[in-house]
Structure 1
Amino acid sequence: MQLKDVGEFNFIRQIQDNTIYDSSTVVYGIGDDCAVYSAAPDMDQLISTDTMVEGVHFSFHYMMPYDIGYRLMTANLSDIAAMGGNPKQIVLSVAAPQHIDTEILDEIYRGIKAQCQRYKLNILGGDTVRTEGPMVWTVTIIGEVPKGTAVMRSGAQVGDVVGITNYVGYAATGLGALSYNLAGYDMTKIGHQRPDPQIELGEQLRQLGVHSMNDISDGLGSELNEIASASNVSILVEESAIPLHEETYALAKHLQTKPVDYALYGGEDFQLVFTAPKSLVPKLENLAGITLIGEVVTGPPKVEMVTQDRTIKTIEAKGYNHFHES
């Protein structure tokens, strides 16, 4: 059945089930002009928004509808993780063509709700409208962090170590394998289709006392430059230390590309990159999923990398850019 046959309000009624996963913070959910939620007095509130456009951020050629909803939520949850926060509420809106099958929309919502259930994240409302163009999804997420403890990009200090969570270049590897219709690459294909946010690690890193943090949505190179610019520092990383998956090396060999470029410029891994005082190194080394890749040094805001042949290469902020003209 198509959306035009169901109508906006009937469709909204269809998806209202299973939207509240932590009722302790909700005064009134879906059903009025606004939702009402309660904020803890000892917490700072975090808010962020992300939009995914069909053909730009996702394609039905490489993803099932469920994956689209799952990935949409990961992108939003990752912003909260980057501050060391805990996600609490969302509102979401969709602009969809009237001829779209409602089963597709149902599956996208199922992916959204799976992530919401996992992280006890309430869906408080939103909007559904018709569009003549591609489908567009927008989520605004609200989280919280103990007062005065949010981890910013601007906190990096000279002498800090630079660390990263899990693998980077993972999602770009999966997308490359899907784009070329290559067999295998099962782990990184899932990494592209259903990436997971690093909520738990983000909170652990905040509690340890890291100085700065950023999530990797536009590529490691771009995110490192954001930290360097916001903190007015230079960052030096070791190419050999950057954690790449074996499937990234395999794809790079197959396509005759550089493995590290998937990490630097691929994006959408939704991992975390951070800087921390050297005194935390023993604790960081004992934390599962953490790799130290460099240090913060004196100098103007820039990012440099010691390559495999021990030359110094400047890493530009040229991750994915929506408005870049090639």
Structure 2
Amino acid sequence: MKLSQLGEFGLIKNARDIFKSLNENIVVGIGDDCAAIKLRKGFLLIATTDALVEGIHFKLDYIQPYQLGIKSININLSDIAAMGGIPLHALLSIAVPPNISVNFMDDFFKGVKDGAKRFKVSIIGGNVSSSKNEFSINMAILGEVKKKYMLLRKGAKAGDKIFVTGYLGDSAAGLEILKRSQKSEVRSQKKRKLIKRHLMPIPRLEEGRFLAVKKLATSMTDISDGLASDIRRICEESDVGANIFTKNIPISKELKDFTSSQLKTRGTHPADGSSKLITSLNFALYGGEDYELLFTAKPENVKKLKELWKNVNIPITMIGEITKKGINLVNIDGKAIPLTKEGYNHFKG
């Protein structure tokens, strides 16, 4: 059955049935003009929203509806993680072409539901609209955080050390593989891992909360547009500079293997779409959509941070330090080179 046959209200009913919540703090959920929720005393409400537009953020020929549902919520949850918050509720708005099947939408909703369930988030409302051609998704997440624990991009000081969680560049490499290959192609396990990092990123909510509650970070953001762009955001908000050491940037074995197999091969540069030589450093600096945490810590807290982090499953790596001014990439020979502003920009490409 196509959506043109089911209709708007039939689609809303399907969504309401799938997203039914038993959360006692939801006073009014899907079906009214607004949702109504109770807030805990002593907490700040934090809110974020992000959009995914077909043809810009994804193509339906390489992502399944279930995967798209999970990605839609997870990229928003990453913003909550970056502030050390706890996600609570989500609002989902979609614009859908009438020729999309009901089964497709049900699978998409199930992906959103499973992504939300994993992190104890309730879907409390949203909007449905038709579109002529592209499938468009907008998700808003509401969360909470105690003011004393909230982390911002602002707060880094000269001398602070710069850290990232996980590995950088995998997502962009996964996208490059998807762009090049045919659906029928048999991919290696390593390539599949890179692809999964792009299609189904995992928000670092537990890690962000850990850093906030333990007061181990002075500033934090998530890496959505690439390390080169997102360190700049911290520096601009904090009115500082940074030195990033190339030898310290964490690169996964899967990414190293992929780029080494592509030596002297030109691919799509993750920042500007131009044809450039494929390197793991390019993917790590400019790729984006890693959704790892980028944060700063006081030098006197580094030992404590590393000791406490032994109980966390995701690795952290110190990749540089905050300076008074200038944002530089320091190569293996110790030479500082100004870090370019490349990174994904919706209005520049």
- Alignment check: 8 A CA contact 1:208 1:280 kept: no
Partner of 2:331: 307
Partner of 1:235: 242
Q: CA deviation at 1:140?
A: 0.9
- Alignment check: 8 A CA contact 1:20 1:121 kept: no
Partner of 2:109: 109
- How far apart are the structure 2 equivalents of 1:316 and 1:71? 29
Partner of 2:288: 267
- Alignment check: 8 A CA contact 1:43 1:145 kept: yes
Q: Give runs of aligned pairs for residues 194-233 of structure 1, distance below 5 A.
A: 194-209=200-215, 210-233=217-240
- How far apart are the structure 2 equivalents of 1:60 and 1:99? 13
Partner of 1:87: 87
Q: Deviations over 1:278-320 (max 9, x none)?
A: 1221232231321111111122xx3211113432122122111
- Alignment check: 8 A CA contact 1:165 1:273 kept: yes
- How far apart are the structure 2 equivalents of 1:26 and 1:20? 11
- SS of 2:134's equivalent in the other structure is coil
Q: CA deviation at 1:22?
A: 5.9
- How far apart are the structure 2 equivalents of 1:303 and 1:208? 28
Partner of 1:258: 279
- How far apart are the structure 1 equivalents of 2:91 and 2:201? 21
1:140 aligns with 2:151: no
- Letter of the structure 2 residue corresponding to residue 250 of structure 1: D
Partner of 2:193: 187
Q: Deviations over 1:58-103 (max 9, x none)?
A: 1122211111111111110000000000000111110001111111
TM-score normalized with structure 2 length: 0.89
- How far apart are the structure 1 equivalents of 2:253 and 2:244? 20
- How far apart are the structure 2 equivalents of 1:177 and 1:132? 29
Q: Deviations over 1:221-269 (max 9, x none)?
A: 1000000111010111111111111121122223332211111100001
Partner of 1:295: 321
- How far apart are the structure 2 equivalents of 1:119 and 1:17? 19
Partner of 2:19: 19
- How far apart are the structure 2 equivalents of 1:44 and 1:22? 23
| Percent pairwise identity | 35
- Letter of the structure 1 residue corresponding to residue 252 of structure 2: H
- Letter of the structure 2 residue corresponding to residue 87 of structure 1: P
- How far apart are the structure 2 equivalents of 1:62 and 1:318? 26
Q: Give runs of aligned pairs for residues 272-291 of structure 1, distance below 5 A.
A: 272-286=293-307, 287=309, 288=312, 289-291=315-317
- How far apart are the structure 1 equivalents of 2:162 and 2:24? 38
**Which residues of structure 2 form unaligned runs of 5+?**
264-277
- How far apart are the structure 1 equivalents of 2:132 and 2:19? 28
Cα pair distance change 1:277/1:20, threshold 3 Å: farther
Partner of 2:122: 122
CA-based RMSD of the aligned residues comes to 1.4
- How far apart are the structure 1 equivalents of 2:161 and 2:56? 35
Mean Cα deviation higher: 71-80 or 283-292: 283-292
- Letter of the structure 2 residue corresponding to residue 260 of structure 1: L
**Which residues of structure 1 form unaligned runs of 5+?**
none
Number of equivalent positions: 323
Mean Cα deviation higher: 23-32 or 116-125: 23-32
Moved >6 Å (runs of 4+): none
- Letter of the structure 2 residue corresponding to residue 200 of structure 1: E
- How far apart are the structure 1 equivalents of 2:341 and 2:22? 39
Q: Deviations over 1:25-50 (max 9, x none)?
A: 21111121111101112101101110
Q: CA deviation at 1:16?
A: 1.1
